[in-house]
Amino acid sequence: MDMTFRWYGKEFEKISLEDIRQIPNVQGIVGTLMDIPAGEVWPEDRIKALKEEVEAAGMHLKVIESVNVHDDIKIGLPTRDKYIENYIQTIRNLAKYGIEVICYNFMPIFDWAKSDLNYKLADGSYALAYIDADIPDDPQVIINQVKKEADRLVLPGWEPERLADIERLFEAYKDVDEEKLRENLLYFLEKIIPVCEEVGIKMGIHPDDPPYSIYGLPRIMKDVQDLRWLCDTIDSPANGITFCTGSMAEDPNNDVYAMLAEFCARDRIPFTHLRNIQFINGTKDFHESAHPSNYGHLDMYRVVQTMYQNGFDGYIRPDHGRMIWGETGRPGYGLYDRALATAYLNGLWEAISKNNS
């Protein structure tokens, strides 16, 4: 197990690498280049500079998150081949600088959706929440909410260039159902996975968030059947899953522990996002919570135990923390609560590994 921490870059972060380095047992940074639009090649000099910056702070850069897939690929437009070639070049460039895992998603338009970015919890902290009745009929309303409440920080999946083009995107996706989206994902993977095998990179697809349709958009990474289809259709170690416990748990029908056991045992989970959620009033509505088991729906001890017992040997990062102790910043990505989560997860892993030695 290799503990990591997501960092958006000094131009987009209030949190420094020096701050992160002081969290015990954080060995690596999950990095990104926030300002490169989907579809463009990530330049070698930018990757090299990021790697050197992280390593100068005493950590490694082995995982990259949010190499976004251009919508033309997801829609299946004739222009997709150009963007796939650009993606392949980005894979090659990242591999040259020691990147081992790329996290991506195949969600149409919205990479994730929440109804409230500042949901106040009983302890006075703030978290992200999804309450179905509060999801507006017009997606533009939620877009405006994100812009207003995110402290003018760019949120992954809600980049300005995407949001500015929202009406056209909805029109472009109108004929894309789950079957068509799945076909387009397969087309993409058939092109890139041989390159990943060649250069030693593993792709990790992030589950849908939430794992059910909103605004009529298709979802194809929402349950165990979808993950089996992914792994069985292209049966390669390079074709993997970024297993996000919070996203999968958002559908109470998903057995997160069984899914972790199956795909860890198959060695198809190179990267995990670990977070907890709490359902509200017996519905599918939920808010994100502190990581410990008694604060949420998931038994995090069982989550980590399942990973350990089924041979997980990849990268972990604490996902979405609450805003606590007066901290402000990118919703879900403050320093303090994610540092607490890191310590908690490290403690679970140490206890479980020693009990099983």
**Residues designated catalytic:** 206, 244, 273, 319-320, 333
Indicate the helix (H) or strand (E) that contains 75.
Answer: helix 71-75
Q: How far is the C-alpha of 321 from the C-alpha of 246, rounded, in Å?
A: 12
The SS3 assignment for 31 reads strand
Q: What one-letter code names the amino acid at 24?
A: P
Give the DSSP per-residue string, 194-252.
HHHHHHT-EEEEPPPSSSS-STT---SSSSHHHHHHHHHHS--TTEEEEEEHHHHHTST
Give the DSSP per-residue string, 291-352.
SSGGGSSS-HHHHHHHHHHTT--SEEEE--PPB-TT--SSTT--SHHHHHHHHHHHHHHHHH
Q: Estimate the share of the chain in helix, then strand, then coil, as percent rounded to the nearest 5.
A: 40, 15, 45
